[in-house]
Each structure stands twice: as C-alpha cells, then as structure tokens.
Structure 1
C-alpha cells in the first residue's frame, strides 16, 4: 500500500531587529505560533544585530528602519555585503516610496508595513524564503517603480544576467555578437546607473535582484 508522504517545512531561523522591546515581544508572540519559525535572537540596534549574526545561524531578519545611530536601511546594506546568505524583510511604519526604493537598493527582499496582519508577515517570510520578493499590497506599485532594474535597457539587463554568472567580457561579447569594447561600455553604464563601483558589488546586486 502506498503511503502518502507529508513534507515537513524546514525550520526558518529568524532575527528580530527593532529598537522597541514591546514591538519585538509582539512579533515574537505572533511568529512563535508557527511551528517551523524559530526566533534565534533579538536586537535593538545595529551593533547587537551584527554581533548576533556572527554567532548564530540566521536565515532571515525582520528589520525596522528606525534604529537610532544606524538606520535599518544602512544596516541592511551591511548585511548584504557581510552576510549575503541572510535575507532581510523591512518591517516599517513608513509608506513613502523613497523608503521602499532605498530598501530595495540596499538588498531587502521584502517590505511590509507594521500595521499589516500577522498572516501577511508570515506570508512575506514564506515568500522570501522560497526565493521570491514580497511587498505589502499597497506598496507593490511603489516597489516595481522603485526597482533599480527599471533604469536599465533590455540589453543592459541581459548583460547583467551574464555578469551575475561570472562570465568575462569576452565571453559575453561572443554570446551576444558584440565587440568586447561594446560590452565594456555597457558594463560601465550599468554601474553608473546603479551607483555601483566594484565588480564584486555588481555581481552581488545582480544576485540580490534575482535577475538570473
């Protein structure tokens, strides 16, 4: 007799970063009702968050923007560089497009308003951990418009995909039927439009934006 196998969700290790203990307590109470969510730590500032990341296995961070000396967007950028395997969802009271845009550029995979119901926060975590981006319904249009990829031409986006796989200018030129100099020019234009300087940062951006 065939027995139907049930898939057990893997444990998702979460770090809560918010400078208000009551907010962290409320989040923890809501998220701990999900059996495969594991709150491994809490932090009220950037220094504590980075310290915990160095010690603990963390899959995802729920990040507030207002953290005092170092805001959550700047901290998200640091995590993208120092701990690229950790996903970040901004959990904020701010609805302004500039905050959504800055969060995306910093490497956040999602942006959820603090007033959202617990079910939406849970959905956001599950979506991001499955490789998708997630934004509160009222912010979806802002997130789309704010994406830095919107500033690139189709050719530049195509080259960015190739850059993300580590291909050389010569390889990309051969694949696309372009001269190496043309590819070099496109690469410079991509970095200029995205305000990126180094090659490593360019590859990291491509991976964070899931352009593959």
Structure 2
C-alpha cells in the first residue's frame, strides 16, 4: 500500500495538531510536516516533497488562494487540497481557478477528509458536498452565459469538426467561427480543444 505523504498548512496550531493526530490513524497516510502560512508551505514543500498539500484558505502572510496559484506555477506536481469554512459559489470559483485539486469544508467528518486525500492522489478532484452544490451552480451559470451560436460552435468543436467544416455547417464564415472559439475559451476559462470537449461532455451538450 502506497504511503501518502501530507504537508499540513494552517495558522492555528490547535487545528494542525488535531488534523495530524486524526490523519496519522490511517495506515496509508503520513504527515511529514506543517506550515503556518503560504510562504512556509511553498518552502516546506520544496524541502519535504509531499504528495498532498492540505492547506487552509485564510492565513496571514500569504493566503491559501495565492499560495495555490504559486504551487500551480512553481510546483505543479503537488496535489493541493484546500480547507475552508466558506461555501459561497464565488469563493469556491476562485479556488477552482487556482488549479487546486479539491476543496473540503472544515465541518466534514474525518473519514471524508481521508477520502478526499485518497481521491486527489489518484489524480481525481474532490469537492465536499456543500462545495459541490455551489460548484454545480457556478457551472450552470457559466452555461447560461453562452449564446445559442456559441453553444452551437461548442458542440461542433466537441465533435471534432474543423473550423471550415463548422463554418459550412452553421452557414457562417471561418473568421466568425474563430471569434466564437476565442469567446468560448475566454468565458469558460478553457484554453485547449480537449478542454472544450471535456466541458461539452460534462454538461451533456453532446
């Protein structure tokens, strides 16, 4: 069984002690270090090479959101799992945009936190139930922002059609297709054809 090395990041020692004590009851999880803010987290991660960084959002010096962004650019191999009490959709959306692997509310049972760690280490993403509800609403809002023409272009792109084919199918110019394609990427925050296809599948557009 693979041992999952975890770095805990929180500015409250009582929280860190509680998390460490609970996680180390698991045979396959080992807490290899702690940090009190985002800067320490980045430094400790370089030294200790954890598999998962379990990090609070609200911290001094460098908060979890900014730290997660830096992990994405400086240490992209690290799985960052965010912890917070907040569950409003705008807040969660800002977490998603950092590239974090998951978001867990602090009031979840310990077993769910373990499940979240095990999920992200396998390459998945994990959002606890309260966060998932807000995330679903964010996705619905995003879908509603797309115009009918953008949705039509997205469906064509997801089916593998080239710009010229899409132009012919929709009776528009290739330049118009390219414009819609750029608008889709900008609105959805997705910058690859594969990403657009995945979005279309997840939202049952194809």
Same fold (TM over 0.5): yes
CA contact (8 A) 1:64 1:92 kept: yes
Give aligned pairs, total.
186
Unaligned residue ranges in structure 2 (runs of 5+)? 168-173, 202-206
Aligned partner of 1:90 in structure 2 is 82
User: CA deviation digits over 1:155-211, x for unaligned, max 9?
Assistant: 44885898xxxxxxxxx727x834664564344213421458xxxxx35x949xx76
Unaligned residue ranges in structure 1 (runs of 5+)? 1-7, 163-171, 197-201
Q: Which structure 2 residues correspond to residues 35-184 of structure 1 after superposition, within 5 A?
A: 35-147=27-139, 150=143, 153=151, 155-156=153-154, 159=157, 173=162, 177-178=165-166, 181=175, 184=178
> Partners of 2:156 and 2:9 in 1: how far apart?
36
The one of 7, 12, 20 aligned to 2:4: 12
Choose 82-91 or 143-152, whichever is displaced more.
143-152
> Is the aligned partner of 1:190 residue 2:181?
no
- 3-state secondary structure, aligned to 1:124: helix
Choose 95-104 or 26-35, whichever is displaced more.
95-104
Q: CA deviation at 1:139?
A: 2.6
User: CA deviation digits over 1:86-127, x for unaligned, max 9?
Assistant: 122211122222221111121122221112111010011112
CA contact (8 A) 1:46 1:70 kept: yes
Q: CA deviation at 1:82?
A: 2.0
Aligned partner of 1:34 in structure 2 is 26
Please give the TM-score of this superposition, normalised by the length of structure 1. Answer: 0.73
Please give the TM-score of this superposition, normalised by the length of structure 2. Answer: 0.74
- 3-state secondary structure, aligned to 2:97: helix
Aligned partner of 2:171 in structure 1 is none
CA contact (8 A) 1:95 1:113 kept: yes
